[in-house]
Amino acid sequence: MMFFAQPHFEAPPSTRIEFVDSTPGSGQDANYLERIFRQKDSTVPVADRNSEVINALLDAYSSCRNRGWDGYDAEPVSRNSLEAAYRLADRIPYHVSLPEIGAEPDGNLTMEWYTSPSQLLNLSISSNGKLHYAAIFADGSSHYGTENGLSGFPFILKVLIEKVMER
């Protein structure tokens, strides 16, 4: 089972995100998530384009941060994976389509660009910043590999996303 969160807006433009959680012991995680979201600037507006992806990452982390979140024995999504995914999401070029966000049972967060079952790119973001990707295309070709996500948005991913999103 994978968890998918759709990018979305939860508040009107210029509203600040407040993380409130009354679950015992979760205040530390709520504060951590707030710091991650506001890392760039203490006045980050929710309407920022990439904030849609960041909101979905926070939803995925919140839903999948405990062992067994999938009803079986899934590893929890780690803070390191969230940080690596946040850094990548913050660098998604403006001309690149936004992905769907998910989590895998191994504890990695995912980004997926999807046009059809035969035209998609799945990107798995590990806690050490490695980006493992696999793409398939309608012409029957495929491409896969691993990139370092700590130094920016890899050029190969831009090319593959553009190819996947062609109609």
Q: What is the structure's pLDDT at 136? A: 96
Q: What is the structure's pLDDT at 161? A: 94
- 3-class DSSP string for the chain: CCEEECCCCCCCCCCCCCCCCCCCCCHHHHHHHHHHHCCCCCCCCCCCCCHHHHHHHHHHHHHHCCCCCCCCCCCCCCHHHHHHHHHHHHCCCCCCCCCEEEECCCCCEEEEEEEECCEEEEEEECCCCEEEEEEECCCCCEEEEEEECCCCCCHHHHHHHHHHHCC
Q: What is the structure's pLDDT at 51? A: 82
- Domain locations in the chain as residue ranges: 3-165
Walk along the chain (167 residues) in steps of 10 and give the mean pLDDT of each run: 49 37 45 55 51 90 94 94 90 87 96 95 94 96 92 90 88
Q: What is the structure's pLDDT at 133? A: 97
Q: What is the structure's pLDDT at 149? A: 83
Confidence (pTM): 0.73
